[in-house]
Amino acid sequence: MLAQLIALDWGTTSLRAYKLAAGGQVLEQRSLSSGIMQLPRTPRIINGQECTDGFELAFDDACGDWLDAQPDLPVIACGMVGSAQGWREASYQDTPANVANLGNSLQTVRSLRGVDMHIVPGVIQRSRLPNVMRGEETQVLGVLQNLPGGAGNDLLIGLPGSHSKWVEVADGCIVHFDTFMTGEVFAVLSEHSILGRTQQQGASFDGQAFDRGVQVALSADGEIGPLSTLFSARSLGLTGELSATAQPDYLSGLLIGHELSALANVQRRRRNSVHLPSIILIGNTQLCARYSRALDACGFANVTLAEQATERGLWQLAVAAGLIKHQPSR
């Protein structure tokens, strides 16, 4: 099957590349650790020129051989590659943002190979505390494309990660989203705080310890907030109630529990109802499994996991932008 598009999900720490055929079918994919903050530095010859630019080098690593085989393949990318620190800045689009229309606002950068890479803009929510996303908007589109009409209006799309996003959509538009720095806080506490001194990483997942952390966050003890309950990840170890191998999963459950408790309260208040919306999760399977487990404890009854959201979203944006020449018959 002939490839029709190269799609890149280019974030802060990683670069995922997809070679897509008709309808967005994945022919080949690869993952590199060449995010915008850790680009390659070893010079090499690209298209007859010595290259030292990290973005060019990473781009060549990700899909140079694909372009050697098919030089006319269009390329589209989402994520932090379009940030102010990226290869070329793609300006934010304001909420409410129609995600299907983002393909009309692509930013273009010409590579040394003479190939244009088209970068998807991010989304900004302007308020007293502004909120931004890059890459998640494309995943949201990938989810919405597979929903029946109107199904997104009582739906919350969750994107767990270093900076977890919770996105509300209406009529195909991103109307509101919240960001929680849960993953990054977990990493900082585990690697650079006193809590990490007694942790032992690398053990298999301890569901009991994780659930205990979630329940502490949801309990009356958790009402005082995470800045207080976090210390229990150390004190329970000092008293022998939490082993060194259990402490990382307890801390994970505690942080995710506080995130989802706040999310549930915000949703109930915003909707003026005890009813909680359905959830679709996008992201790493193991991390989504943790969130699904905690969401159930928080009262979110209907939780599903989306697959291939990024690839589907990038394909749809490429179609909208007219980058794909041949469409599959219907």
What is the full per-residue pLDDT of the chain (330 aa) written as tens digits? 899 999 999 999 999 999 999 999 999 999 999 999 999 999 999 999 999 999 999 999 999 999 999 999 999 999 999 999 999 999 999 999 999 999 999 999 999 999 999 999 999 999 999 999 999 999 999 999 888 766 666 799 999 999 999 999 998 899 999 999 999 999 999 999 999 999 998 889 999 999 999 999 999 999 999 999 999 999 999 999 999 999 999 999 999 999 999 999 999 998 888 889 999 999 999 999 999 999 999 999 899 999 999 999 999 999 999 999 755 443
Q: In DSSP terms, which residues pair with 93 in a beta bridge?
A: 123
Rounded Cα distance between 267 and 275, Å, is 9
Could you check whether the bond before residue 96 is cis, i.e. omega within 30 degrees of 0?
yes
Q: Is 7 helix (H, G, I), strand (E, B) or coil?
A: strand
CATH of domain 179-305: 3.30.420.310
Of 213, 290, 295, the residue nearest 255 (C-alpha): 213
Asked if 196 contacts 189 with a C-beta cutoff of 8 angstroms, the reply is: yes
Selected from 3.40.50.1110, 3.40.1260.20, 3.30.420.300, 1.10.540.10, the CATH number assigned to the domain covering 5-122+311-320 reads 3.30.420.300
Of 20, 26, 56, the residue nearest 39 (C-alpha): 56
* Burial bucket for residue 191 (CB in 10 Å: 0-12, 13-18, 19+): exposed
Q: Is 198 helix (H, G, I), strand (E, B) or coil?
A: helix
Residues of the chain with CATH 3.30.420.300: 5-122+311-320
Rounded Cα distance between 308 and 145, Å, is 12
262 φ/ψ angles, rounded to the nearest 5 degrees: -65, -40
pLDDT at 330 (0 to 100): 39
pLDDT at 151 (0 to 100): 64
Give DSSP secondary structure letters for 283-300: S-HHHHHHHHHHHHHTT-
Rounded Cα distance between 20 and 16, Å, is 13
Q: Which helix (H) or strand (E) holds 254?
A: helix 247-271
Residues of the chain with CATH 3.30.420.310: 179-305
